[in-house]
Amino acid sequence: MRTLEKKQRIRRVIYSVPSLIVLLIITIFLVRGAFGVLIKERESGKDSRNMKDEINTLVTRESELKERIHRLETEEGMKNEIRERFNVTQEGEFVAVIVDDRGISTSTDDSMLPWYRKFLNVIISFYEY
């Protein structure tokens, strides 16, 4: 009989309102911590992927730079680089400059002007003749 009374007393204490509130508060803190860890895990995964992408771009850039350095170590590569950067020629070479007639002046192009400027141009053109 005493064991039954002890069990009932323990159940009453465990299932009492204050003890349930304490357990609920503890559960809320544990769940909140678990969600924080989950969010940090996702952020670190995203950061890891970004770092891998950055490493890949840096490795590609390194190989391009090594190739460019190798090209510049030759005399022909140095001459070509000087020609491209400084727009110079060697003796006996000539440069042909081709001018495109379509792009003579973009500032007076009527298709790019606002409507009021077009209207003013029409009025001014009547007074010029």
pLDDT in tens, 71-97: 999 999 998 888 888 878 888 887 777
The answer to whether 83 and 89 have CB atoms below 8 angstroms apart is yes
pTM of the shown model: 0.48
Q: What is the pLDDT of residue 51?
A: 97
Mean pLDDT of 48-68: 97
Rank 14-28, 55-69, 74-88, 112-126 by mean pLDDT and report only the highest: 55-69
Rounded percentage of the chain residues whose pLDDT exceeds 90: 43
Lowest pLDDT segment from 3-12, 25-34, 108-117: 108-117
Q: What is the pLDDT of residue 57?
A: 97
Helices assigned H by DSSP within the chain: 2-14, 17-72, 75-86, 115-128
Sequence-distant (≥ 6) Cβ neighbours of residue 87 within 8 angstroms: none
Q: Residue with structure tokens 């077009």? A: 118
Mean pLDDT of 32-45: 95
The answer to whether 38 and 31 have CB atoms below 8 angstroms apart is no
3-state secondary structure of 90: coil
